[in-house]
Every structure is written in structure tokens, then in C-alpha cells.
Structure 1
Amino acid sequence: MSVGVALPEAAPRGRLALRLTLAAGAVALAGLLVAALAWLVAPTIAAPPPRSPFGIGFREATPSATGLGGWLLAVQSSFSRSLQAALSALKAGGDWGPLVGIGFAYGVFHAAGPGHGKAVIAGYIVAGERALRRGCALSFAAAFLQALVAIAIVGIGSLILGATAAAMSRAGTLIETASFAMVAFLGLALTWRKSGALSWRLAGSGALGCGPDCAHGVAPPRDGESWRARTGVILAAGSRPCAGAVLLLVFALSQSMLGAGILAVLAMALGTALTTSALASLAVFAKGAALRLAGGRGRAGALAVGGLELLAAAFVLVLGLAMLAGLARGAGGA
């Protein structure tokens, strides 16, 4: 008799233990994946680039001249010099076309290079989002949020508050910290939700000792994506401004042409949004293909897709924690 009373209590405890085990395993596997990627990239990483002549402290990883990453960043550096030259030419009476065109091209190549925003959006899509339209909307919103944050840092900081370059640099560090923390929090929420969904599927297959008529084996809870989750993705991916955009705005400010700099940064955001949307589309199509393949494999396919979603969510969590740890190491070594 006592066993019959204990079973309803034991099943939830068993599901919680299974959920925690799945989440911990996914985080460990994602950590190994991030570590492997870091090990592959580490031999080509050079020392952090020096601060800009304007004293702004935004920095991004700089691979050496070898490899695709080095070529992309070399192209970005060339575009940055071309943007400054186009801005100077515009001040001397030149045309607006080269400034806007080069800014757009810079955004396209910038989005193709390394960056946490693309990883966050792709990880979120693999973890749960399935609509192409929403993936593209997230990409555009995050890209233009990056532009607006850069404009706010330079415009509000220098024109309204009269902030120095050092103060803007500190503001940028705070924004970076908040952005990386949001990535980690988003990954934690996704990991917890996906581990719960996968534990329900496993419970339905008898992993917790339930029989075929057990009520614990019902379908997993509805896993819809809310507007809050999408807002979190946009903030996590787009709240850290592009270093090139900030430097261009500071240069434009020094030339008394902040309006032209803002136009170029918005063109950069459009180029970034288009490239990121293309990458998001690939993630949506890959997720759709996996779902179609799983549809013909019954419960095993559903479990495989659930495991892939959980791993993608854990990847976002580990990415956020790794970036926070790298920021802390940089602050400690400064």
C-alpha cells in the first residue's frame, strides 16, 4: 500500500533528477565544444589590438593574417580606412554615395566574421525558433539595435553629457558586461526549458519506470516562443555595439560631421542585418530538415531533435559564461 502512495511523489522527483542530469550533461558537452573551437582558433589569435587613437576601449578578437578569419578582418580594416577617407572627402565637398556604399559593404563583411550576435541568434533558432520570417526579424532588430547603441554612446555621451573618451570606454565595458550576462541568462532559460521538454519525452518512453497507461507519459508541455524570449535574444545579440561603428562615429564627431557618421553606421547595420539574416535562414532550413528527418523515425527522431535543441541552448549558456569570463580576465589584466 505504501508503494502505491509513494509512486506519484517519486515520479516528479525522478523527472526533476532527469531534467537536472540532462541539463548538466548538455552544458558539459557544450563546454567541450566551445573549448574545442577555442583550441582550433587559439593558434591563430594574436594579441588584442591597441586602443584607437581616440581612446575608445572597444576591442574585438583579431586573428592573424592567415585563414579566412584573418582575411575577413583585414577586409574590415580596409573598409574602416575607406570609410574615414570617404567621410573626409564628403567634408571636402564630395558625394554621399561612397560613404553609404562602403558602410553597407563593411556591414556585410563584418557580419561574416567572428561575433557573438550571430552565435546567439543561430543557437536560439536551433534551440526553438522555426519560422524563417521571425529569424530574419531577429537579425534585423539586433543589427539596428547595435547601431542605435553605438549612436547613443557617442552622441549622448559626447554631445549631451560631455563625456570624455575614457568615460565612453567605461560605458562600453558596462554595456558589454550586461550584454554577455543577458546571453548567459538567455542560455540558462533555454537550457532549463529544453531539458524539461526532453525529460517529458523520455518519461513518455518509460525512462522513469512508468507503464503504458501512466499519466506521466503525456506529451511535453507547450514550448511556444514568447515575445519576451525574442526580446531577450535581440537585447543579448544587439546591445553590444560594433567597435567599427563606434570608432567611425568618434572620427565623424572629430570632423564635425556626426550626421554623416550616423548615416554610414545605419548603412553598416543594413549590411550586417542582411548577412545575419542569410545565416539565420540557413539555421532555420537546417532545423526544418532535421525535423522532417525526425518525423520519419518516430520517438527516436523526436528524442534526437530534442537533444539537439538542448545542446544548442546549452551552447548559448556556455558562450555567455565564456565571454563573461574573458571580460573579467581582461579587466583583471588591465
Structure 2
Amino acid sequence: MARVELEQLRKVYDDGYEAVHDVSLTIEDGEFVVLVGPSGCGKSTTLRMIAGLESITSGTLRIGDRVVNDMAPKDRDIAMVFQNYALYPHMSVFDNMAFGLKLRKRPTAEIRQRVEAAANTLGLREVLDRKPKALSGGQRQRVALGRAIVRDPAVFLFDEPLSNLDAKLRVQTRTEISKLHRDLGATMVYVTHDQVEAMTMGDRIVVLHDGHVQQVAPPLELYDRPANTFVAGFIGSPAMNFVEGTVTGSLFAATSGGLQLDLGSTPATQGAVTLGIRPESLFTVAKTPPGKRMSDPMDGVIEVQEPMGNEIVVYVRMHSETRLTARVEPQPLADDGGATQLRVDLDKVHLFDAETGVAIRS
């Protein structure tokens, strides 16, 4: 396995569009790093530069001890798993998995041993003689994984490999990839737009936006201490609530008027701020948990409620221009259009600079 180092990596296309801006990142040997962000943020372009499928405009890329900027993909000791499986339809599962080893003229006995070992790991032993058309989507993706495993590369690269699977198969295959990482101890770089995949799979997550790295952190740190409003709004579902306003002393007052919140302590910055509250940090008065530092009740009107079984997502209009989304435990609520009262866990409130969006730390 190998360490991967990106030093001020840039990608500028011929028309002048800069897709990736000075990305610097070190992926340790054996680490599982996820690149996440919305469409067009530069995550797949960054992965393709690591793979050698996109040229590097400037910066340095190392895999292990080698600078690989100008090295052909086949010489980088990487294996890539694509979104569309990229299997040969006329070949059996065995031959698809063995294809790369045959090109390298590995001994027949070694090829069979490697393919059978990978098939056992991925639960493909019974389908080695089948063609891809006789497999389910999940099985095809596992064949693509197996083809990568048998090569025993220094680095595994995954480009949105679960996007074509249905919800149940995504969960199953996500678990298989995580287990594979644990069993192999391999260096893996994984690209996705799905924050759930990122949060559940990665040792660290790299959040990208418009080609810029916004934050690099372990999943829970990213969730609990977002670096800015983009990260805070992108990670978490439903998204974090944002309210523009000003802080005077310990009192936050919404710009739109009406909503006021005593933060319980004086923050590091006074004046214009953006207040951030995650939906699960809001509670109804009737179901306020004990032992938390809670705000005074805030009056609101229920606009829509979505019962999810284990929770209810409630959309509440607090004042004419202030709306909050809350995730609350199952409980009797007023009908849509009825009154409610919410309280905020003050230890979970986030503040951001109103101009730059950067988090304000106490």
C-alpha cells in the first residue's frame, strides 16, 4: 500500500475553466478518504488526476515515494472502480476479474488463486462462470471490486461506484466496501455526492466546493464543528437551519425581526452573524430532554410535518420570514397550521461570520 500526497494540485481546461484550485492533501497509507461535494465541485476531476486519466496543470502528485505527474495510469500501481462497472459483456465473471492479470502475463496458477480468493471475499464463488448479463447490479459492482482487488494495487480509487444501485443495494455494497477496507488495510480514495456514504465510510472526509477544499476532518468532527456555512449546510439531512441576525452581548436577534434567542453566554464576535441550528437540536416543550442547557420556549406555527416512524420532521414558521426545520421524536403534535413551541439546545448552536461564512469559535 502507499501514501498519496497532493501538493497544490490544479486543473485548468483549454477554455480557461479552473476545475480544481490548489488542492493540498495527504492520504496516509491504509487510510480511507472520501471526496464529497455537489456536482461540479471538482471531486471526480481530482480523482482522475490521481488515476492519470486527467493531466495535471500544476502542482505535484506523489504515490508512495514517486512523483507520478507524467506517469501513465498503468504504471501508477492504482486500481479504479467506476460508476458504470465497465465489465466485458462477452467474458465470464472469472475472465473479467482475471483480465488485468492476464495482460501482465502472470502465471495461470497465480491468476486462479487470486481470483478465487477475491471471489470468496466478495461472495462471488458461485457465479464465476456466469456472464455479466446474468448478474444483478450489486453482483456486477462486486465483480468490478474483485477485478480491482486481484491486482493488489497500492491505491484503490472509487468514482461514485454505488450511484447505479437501488437504495437497499447501496447500503449492502457500502458495508461490503467498508469491510473490504478493514480486511485489506488498503489505501482508498472514494468520490461521492452522497453525504451518507461519506459519513459512514470515510476515516476522513474532504469537502469540496467550486474546486476548493472547504474542510478536511473525520466524520463526527465535520458534523459537530463545520468550518463554514457551506460545510454546515451540505453535511446533515435535513440541512442545518440558518438565520441571519446580530448578536449583542449574549442576545441573538434575527434580521427579519421577531425571533430572539439568548445564547446563554457572550460569543467571541458581536454584530452581524449567521446563526446555525441543526434540526435535531430543536425540541418541543413537551419533549424537552432533562440535563440540557435549553433556550426559553419560542412560539411558532406548524407548516408541514412528515412522520418518519422513528422521528417526525416538522417545518415551523417562527415569524413572518423565519422558518426552522426540527427533527423530533414521535409525539402528538398540532395539525398543520396549529401552534407549537420549540426550544434550542444552546450547547449545539453554531455561529458563522455573516460576510465570510467562516465559523466563529468560542
Q: Which has the higher strand share?
A: 2
Pair member with larger Rg:
2
TM-score > 0.5, shorter chain as reference:
no
Q: Which has the higher helix share?
A: 1
Q: What's the TM-score once normalised by structure 1's chain length?
A: 0.21
Q: Which has the higher contact order (CA 8 A, sep 6+)?
A: 1
